[in-house]
A = this chain, B = another copy of it.
């Protein structure tokens, strides 16, 4: 293909990782950096900067480059109306934007996908552009989950299933078959950091290295939006919380800097593994 795919870049390291993997796979990329969120290093690729709400400018730029396909990658603090810098193209689309800004995360993100589709774009997932970033089945570390960890992982997956309908977080921490933390608005890393604090202050009493961070996409989730991901900070947080390891739903979670993560987890004695979830309702 000769026309580029646009990558709309939020915060964190994923947009650049996805751009790099897409290029390695032979795709041309055009990066659209969201002002105040995206890494300035996106400038090493063909790119533009955009304030939230400048939809006129965005669609003109994409049309100039014959872009028909786009992907939305990276973190974005849930915006507020006051964050919007609407250009004429934005004002014209205000009713759609208002609709998107209401409801849960998942609802909002599905709205963004629909918004771009209604404009005639094909929205692809980061895992489509960069399948090498998706973790498969099995450990990437020297250690792998033992029998006790597998029980915690099964409980974590079951809890995730029960929460799927509620459009909340994508991860939990289970230790000794007990749910000790559930993610919602704080995000995965902050949740794991809470477990470290609870252990340090004695509010949560666990012996030695124990417990698993379990992360999986919600059931029925559109993986083109909000594909779950972990990065190096997740491993550092899990080690600080003295967890035994990290279990990720196989083929459902992006892993950034996989080699670094595996090396760091090995150094800290953690496992990081893709684990196949039981079928829904099983």
**Inter-subunit contact A103/B177 (CB<8 Å):** yes
Given known contacts A166-B155, A184-B179, A185-B180, is B104 in contact with A202 (CB within 8 Å)? Answer: no
Contact B181 A185 (CB under 8 A): yes
The answer, yes or no, to whether A77 is at the interface (CB within 8 Å) is yes
Does A168 interact with chain B (Cβ within 8 Å)?
Answer: yes
Does A204 contact B179, Cβ atoms closer than 8 Å? no
Expressed in whole angstroms, the Cα–Cα distance for A179 and B164 within the complex equals: 12
Q: Which of B78, B103, B184, B204 contacts A182 (CB 8 A)?
A: B184
The answer to whether A24 has its CB under 8 Å from any CB of chain B is no
Least CB distance from A170 to B in Å reads: 12
- With the chains together, A173 CA to B168 CA distance in Å? 11
The reply to whether A186 and B181 form a contact with Cβ atoms under 8 Å apart is yes
Residues of B within 8 Å of A166, CB to CB, are 155, 158-159, 162, 179
Task: Verify if A165 is at the interface (C-beta below 8 Å from B).
Answer: yes
User: Which size class do A's interface residues fall under?
Assistant: 35 or more
User: Is B167's CB under 8 angstroms from A178's CB?
Assistant: yes
Q: A207 interface residue, CB < 8 Å from B?
A: yes
Complex alpha-carbon distance, A163 and B158, angstroms: 10
| 0 or 1 for each of A173-204: is its CB under 8 Å from B? (1 = yes) | 10011111111111100100011001000111
In the complex, whether A267 has a CB less than 8 A from a CB of chain B is no
A264 interface residue per 8 A CB criterion: no
* B-chain residues with CB within 8 Å of residue A104 when the two chains form the complex: 177-179
Give the complex CA separation of A167 and B182 in angstroms.
12
Q: Are A186 and B198 in contact (CB under 8 A)?
A: yes
Q: Is A85 an interface residue (CB 8 A)?
A: no
Q: Indicate if A79 sits at the interface (CB-CB under 8 A).
A: yes
Docked complex Cα distance between A158 and B167 (Å): 13
Residues on B with C-beta less than 8 A from A41 are none
A105 interfacial contact with B, CB 8 Å: yes
Give 27 pairs: A residue, B residue, CB < 8 Å, sorted on A.
A77-B203, A79-B205, A80-B207, A103-B176, A103-B177, A104-B177, A104-B178, A104-B179, A105-B178, A162-B163, A162-B165, A163-B163, A167-B178, A167-B179, A168-B178, A168-B179, A168-B182, A169-B182, A172-B184, A178-B185, A179-B184, A180-B185, A182-B183, A182-B184, A186-B203, A187-B203, A194-B194
CA distance A173 to B169 in the complex (A): 13
Once the chains bind, are A202 and B77 in contact (CB under 8 Å)? yes
Nearest CB of chain B from residue A118's CB, rounded to whole Å: 23
A186 and B179 contacting across the interface, CB-CB below 8 Å: no
**Is the beta-carbon distance between B184 and A181 smaller than 8 angstroms?**
yes
